[in-house]
Amino acid sequence: MIELFTAATPNGYKVSIALEELEVDYKVRKIDFNKGEQREDWFLKINPNGRIPAIIDHEAGGLRVFESGAILIYLAEKYGRLIPSDEKERVECLCWLMFQMGGIGPMQGQANVFGKYFDEKIPSAISRYRNECRRLYSVLDTHLKGKEWICNEFSIADIANWAWIRSYKWSELDISGLANLRLWMDRMVDRPACLKGCTIPPRQEASKQIQSAKSIIQK
């Protein structure tokens, strides 16, 4: 069985969505940021970086995997789904996964930090990260023209990018004019496993979510 250590964040939802899509049994352990569980010794043995998500695969002798992108690749390869079998398409899938890991995730994360979580508002920083998110969204919008999914089939690339982009309103980002992106988001919402995955674990109310985020970035 897969044991998932997670919290109600886009990176955490990536893995719960994938597990729901794969229809495999898994156990969830919610990490409480307010209590600092991510910095406790027992968790640092699972992820030395003290971040979620992480998994332990008890069927593989207690194998640990941390970093959301690495977990998605591991699960897709373990179960033979959510990643193309064709080599060219597999590489394309990994490229768009890394597009999220190195682009949308960090930029939208910083947009949230400066726009939502820091008490001091720095307009230039907020504008910089929101504008970069818009640029990255536009790149994906252009790529999605005439396509149902990011690759030729539904994959971990779709899961990773949607887990972040779906919260564009929370991040106060503008997606006007990005018709291809909107249609793709609608197709994602039509997948029951995607909807279920982004409720595991349940999201906190806005004030508590901000408090949890502050407890991470201020320490």
The reply to whether 74 and 93 lie within a common domain is no
CATH number for position 181: 1.20.1050.10
Model pLDDT for residues 42-78, shown as the tens digit of each residue: 999 999 999 999 999 999 999 999 999 999 999 999 9
- On whether residue 178 sits in a domain, the answer given is yes
* Rounded (10°) CA dihedral 198, 48, 93, 156: -20
- Cβ atoms of 57 and 2 within 8 Å: the answer is yes
Phi then psi for 95, rounded to 5 degrees? Answer: -60, -45
Each residue's pLDDT expressed in tens, for the chain with a length of 219 residues: 999 999 999 999 999 999 999 999 999 999 999 999 999 999 999 999 999 999 999 999 999 999 999 999 999 999 999 999 999 999 999 999 999 999 999 999 999 999 999 999 999 999 999 999 999 999 999 999 999 999 999 999 999 999 999 999 999 999 999 999 999 999 999 999 999 999 999 986 655 556 655 555 555
Token representation of residue 163: 């887990």
The reply to whether 104 and 175 lie within a common domain is yes
Please say which residue of 61, 81, 101 terminates a domain: 81
- Cβ atoms of 133 and 173 within 8 Å: the answer is yes
Q: How remote is the C-alpha of 190 from its chain's centroid?
A: 18
The reply to whether 102 and 170 lie within a common domain is yes
The reply to whether 7 and 107 lie within a common domain is no
The reply to whether 97 and 65 lie within a common domain is no
pTM of the model: 0.94
Report DSSP state, residue 37: G
The reply to whether 103 and 136 lie within a common domain is yes
- On whether residue 201 sits in a domain, the answer given is no
Extract the runs of DSSP E, i.e. beta strands, from the chain: 2-6, 26-30, 54-57, 63-66
One DSSP character per residue, 144-204 reads TTT-SSSSSS--HHHHHHHHHHTTTTTTT---TT-HHHHHHHHHHHT-HHHHHHTTSSPPP
Phi then psi for 2, rounded to 5 degrees? Answer: -90, 130
The reply to whether 77 and 92 lie within a common domain is no
- Cβ atoms of 174 and 134 within 8 Å: the answer is yes
**How much is the pLDDT for 208?**
57
Query: What is the CB neighbour count within 10 angstroms for residue 185?
Result: 18
CATH number for position 71: 3.40.30.10
Count: domains in the chain: 2
Q: For residue 37, give its domain range.
A: 2-81
